[in-house]
Amino acid sequence: MVERCPDKTEVEGSIPSMRTMTVNIIILGLAFLLASAVLIVVQVIYVRKLQKLELEELARKLKEEFSTKIDKRALDLQSYIENEVEHRLRDR
């Protein structure tokens, strides 16, 4: 089917109306907004996972550091108790 445009040129197929073009533009705009929203959600999920991994790594490091300090203090306390027991036994 060939239609004549307002400027006297001919085109294959029907000429879209202004309403059709407006609807198409609105659909494209909504598709763009939806795609943008999906990208934002994906970025938020990625950032949260990264933060979770960083927090887990920090927690692991702190746990190692504190357990090392606790082990050292436990050994120090054990040595102190042993020394005190020896002194008291000698003083008897």
Token pair recorded at residue 18: 């202004």
Digit-by-digit pLDDT tens for the chain (92 residues) are 555 566 656 666 666 777 888 888 999 999 999 999 999 999 999 999 999 999 999 998 988 888 888 888 888 898 899 888 888 888 76
- In sequence order, the 6+-apart residues with CB closer than 8 A to the CB of 15 are 3, 5
Q: What share of the chain is helix, strand, coil (3-state, %, to 5)?
A: 80, 5, 15
The residue extents of the domains of the chain are 2-91
Rounded CA separation 75/72 (Å) = 5
Rounded CA separation 92/89 (Å) = 5
